[in-house]
Amino acid sequence: MSIKVRYFASLKESIGRSEDNLEIAGLATVGDVWRYANPNKVLPDNILAAVNMDYVEWDAAVNDGDEVAFFPPVTGG
Percent of the chain with pLDDT over 90: 70
Mean residue pLDDT of the chain comes to 91
- In this prediction the pTM is 0.90
Report pLDDT for 23: 92
pLDDT, tens digit, 9 for 90 and up, residues 35-69: 999 999 888 778 999 999 999 999 999 999 999 99
> First-to-last CA distance in the chain?
40
Q: Which CATH number fits domain 2-71: 3.30.200.20, 3.10.20.30, 3.40.50.150, 3.40.50.740?
A: 3.10.20.30
Res. 5: pLDDT tops 90: yes
Q: CA-CA distance, 23 to 58, in Å (whole number)? A: 20
pLDDT at residue 41, rounded to an integer = 87
Residues 6+ apart with CB under 8 A from 59: 29, 30, 31
Task: Report CA 32 to chain centroid distance, whole Å.
Answer: 9
